[in-house]
Structure 1
Amino acid sequence: MLVDSHCHLDFPDFADDLDGIVARADAAGIGRILTISTRVRRLGELLNIAGRYPNVYCSVGTHPHHADEEDGIPSDELIELTRHPKVVALGEAGLDNFYDNGSPEAQERGFRAHIAAARATGLPLVIHTREADEGCGRILEDEMQKGSFRAVLHCYTGGRELAMKAISLGLSISFTGILTFKKSQALRDLAAELPADRIMVETDAPYLAPGKFRGKRNEPSYVVEIARVLAETRGVSLEEISRQTTENFFRLFSKVPAA
């Protein structure tokens, strides 16, 4: 069994094909799908989707691109929203310096509010960090001193220093189809080095389709291709990487019922 630990089933790309997407994922051996929130105010849409499919769960959070739009949402509100049985994580939240979306100040405020909610609930935080290694590392270290919390750096494309800092803080790292791209050798080298109990796979669908599907709309069933490349990178079998990443998922996202 494999798990797609991060996708976006509420995005318009999937509106007319949800039944097919979930069915293809099931046929490919994808036992759980985690569809990730990008706007707290649109959580209802995610809950409607998660409610339709037994193996689909969701998070609640504000993507840094929407940090100004949802600036000021307190951690107490996030905590309350996690009481729904299908909400199993916070985020995605974090820092993004690649696009000029979301002011740095609002991004940091939102990031810290999500960390506080993760700390209070014990649920993991899904962290988005892009071109923001220094700032992300600083906030993670600062917040961890206030009290421990669980998290995963999703769609990892940062440097080795941030990855190792995250590992030292007890966090996890997740890889997308970027791992399969020809120009991603440095990322594969990092993936080979990380502890086996801290790695996961995801699609980030509808974006970043892996390998032979590149250029097409991504979907959860394609997580198998990412797992295959991760297995090759680490010199283990697909079966072993499937077992390990799935075990890691259920340990981190412990609110999701295990298979």
Structure 2
Amino acid sequence: MIDTHCHLDVAEFDADRDAVLVRARSAGVAAIVVPAIHAAGWDGLLALCASADDLYPALGLHPLFLDRHRDADLDALERAIAEHRLLALGEIGLDYFLPELDRAGQLALFEAQLSIAKSAGLPVLLHVRKAHDDVLTALKRIGVPGGIAHAFNGSIQQAHRYLDLGFRLGFGGMLTFTRSSRLRRLAAELPGESIVLETDAPDMTVAAHRGERNSPEYLPDVLQALSEVRGESPDVLAALTTANARAVLPGLGGIEPSGSRRVSAPPP
């Protein structure tokens, strides 16, 4: 399995990060994508990912931290892309769920980062809440090499618009809650080639650990929930979602199904 979205660098993991990684690997997690949220965390995130073969960095400016971002951060992002081997640009996007967030400011930041991703040939990791139509419009207009709509919870019509643009859709802990009937129905109806697994740890934990910190070691719970709603075996879905992640994030290189390390270097 590949955890395509896990904030392993944040302070919630400082006390036991190494132990979490040991347990995740033992649970079958072969790679973890670690997306950034603001420029202040980039150095620590890059250092963490440099410490292990199965951790892959993405850098970006998250819309929820709009008040922390500065114009100079975009220049720094371009420099970081030139200096480091990044898997993707992210976590970026639009969040219209919180009315106090400046929509115009978010959109300007999002479009600027899409342009950077396009120039660099990098896929993007998207954060989208109540803003799918505006995100899809920007993606179509600017054009990027695909990516993942993280924690997807849109309509089936919106899902197919993402797929048409070369994106995959991330499903995580919410899928494990039986009350998430609309989400579970969506995961059952979508083409198997469209789905990737994620945890979004330390947030959005699985049902079995409700009220606790989420962790990449719980990714098998997401896989099991996907198996239940689709009526397909976990082994088949593990292989399929891993292939989907590798297809949309080529920098993952070759990952052996039973391994926890990169077996071919990502392109320079």
TM-score by length of 2: 0.89
Change (3 A) 1:73 1:157: farther
In the TM superposition, residue 211 of structure 1 has moved relative to its aligned partner by 2.1
In the TM superposition, residue 109 of structure 1 has moved relative to its aligned partner by 1.3
RMSD: 1.8
8 Å CA contact 2:78, 2:116 repeated in 1: yes
In the TM superposition, residue 256 of structure 1 has moved relative to its aligned partner by 2.0
Listed as ranges, the gaps of 5+ residues in structure 2 are 256-268
Change (3 A) 1:14 1:86: farther
In the TM superposition, residue 137 of structure 1 has moved relative to its aligned partner by 2.5
Q: Which moved more, 1:216-225 or 1:39-48?
A: 39-48
- Per-residue CA deviations over 1:69-111 (Å, capped at 9, x if unaligned) read 2143576643331245552110111111112464212211121
Match of 2:26 in 1: 27
**Distance in 2 of aligned mates of 1:172 and 1:73:** 30
| 1:218 alignment partner, one of 205, 209, 214 | 214
Q: Note if 1:192 corresponds to 2:188.
A: yes
Q: How many residues align?
A: 255
Match of 1:116 in 2: 115
Match of 2:50 in 1: 51
Q: Note if 1:94 corresponds to 2:80.
A: no
Change (3 A) 1:255 1:101: farther
Report the secondary structure of 1:6's partner residue.
Answer: coil
**Distance in 1 of aligned mates of 2:25 and 2:82:** 27
Structure 1 segment 6-45 matched on structure 2, within 5 A? 6-45=5-44
Sequence identity of aligned pairs in percent? 32
**Distance in 2 of aligned mates of 1:167 and 1:101:** 31
Change (3 A) 1:80 1:17: same
Change (3 A) 1:101 1:84: farther
Q: Note if 1:203 corresponds to 2:199.
A: yes
- Per-residue CA deviations over 1:23-49 (Å, capped at 9, x if unaligned) read 001111111011110013321010121
**Distance in 2 of aligned mates of 1:218 and 1:86:** 27
Q: Which amino acid aligns with 1:29?
A: G
8 Å CA contact 2:33, 2:56 repeated in 1: yes
Q: Which amino acid aligns with 2:55?
A: V
Match of 2:264 in 1: none
8 Å CA contact 1:35, 1:57 repeated in 2: yes
Q: Which amino acid aligns with 1:157?
A: N
Report the secondary structure of 1:123's partner residue.
Answer: coil
Report the secondary structure of 1:87's partner residue.
Answer: coil
Q: Note if 1:247 corresponds to 2:211.
A: no
**Distance in 1 of aligned mates of 2:183 and 2:150:** 13
**Distance in 2 of aligned mates of 1:68 and 1:206:** 22
| 1:230 alignment partner, one of 202, 226, 231 | 226
Listed as ranges, the gaps of 5+ residues in structure 1 are none
